[in-house]
Amino acid sequence: DFWIVDLERAVPMRFATTTTSGSTSIWSPDGNRIAFITKYEGRDEVHIAGLDGRAEPVPTTGDVFKYVTDWSSDGRYIVFLVVNVENGQDIWILPMDGDRKPKPYLTGPAGERAGKVSPDGRWMAYGSNETGREEIYVQSFPEPGHKVRVSTDGGQFPRWTEGGRQLEYVNGLDRMVVSVKEGAEFQPGTPRKVFTLPANIT
């Protein structure tokens, strides 16, 4: 099940009961809705719910397994991951206006995952194993364009911080951070280690 916890009072409240394990969820930018994955017609599917827990399914692709990874700060796009036999993992985006017709962002023989849109809505950070090892990359958004590799020695699970002026990711047990220069082009600095996690953290 999904639960919401009041952080000031440490009071939990059941938000929604789901029919799948390993579900993912994300808040809308205004904090009034939640997108999550649960079963719909025999497959994982994106659902959107208000804080009352009433969920509306949004049909996307026919693939069985999916994960939501981000909701752009302007509220216009939900980013989700599709798992399939042909490509392994692909990144798709779901427009939140118009006919809500999903479209692929990155598909191909390499596995791409953990897509995160920058706060200004111009860039997508994600992990890809195209070199045989997962690294962090950034491309333009909402249409992919010139690709920039950010990590130098492996990386997973990118996250924008400092209003988009930094990009953080994990490399093994090391938490890495990269400064980003402002400008028309994406210009990352050199990755540096912030701290190392304890060995018993999964």
- Residue 2: per-residue pLDDT: 80
Residue with tokens 């206006």: 97
Q: What is the reported pTM?
A: 0.89
For residues 175 and 15, what is the distance between their CA atoms, to the nearest angstrom? 31
- Residue 136: per-residue pLDDT: 96
The two three-digit tokens of residue 171, written as one number: 């490399």
Q: Running along the chain, 202 residues long, what does each successive block of 10 average in pLDDT?
A: 88 76 81 89 88 85 89 96 85 91 91 94 94 94 93 95 93 94 88 92 74
For residues 177 and 192, what is the distance between their CA atoms, to the nearest angstrom? 6
- Residue 20: per-residue pLDDT: 58
The two three-digit tokens of residue 137, written as one number: 């990359």
- Residue 124: per-residue pLDDT: 96
Strand partners, 192: 177
For residues 19 and 34, what is the distance between their CA atoms, to the nearest angstrom? 17
The two three-digit tokens of residue 126, written as one number: 């994600």
Phi-psi sector, 172: left (phi>0), alpha (psi -120 to 50), beta: left
For residues 53 and 2, what is the distance between their CA atoms, to the nearest angstrom? 9
- Residue 22: per-residue pLDDT: 55
Dihedral sign, Cα of residue 49, residue 30, residue 76, residue 183: negative
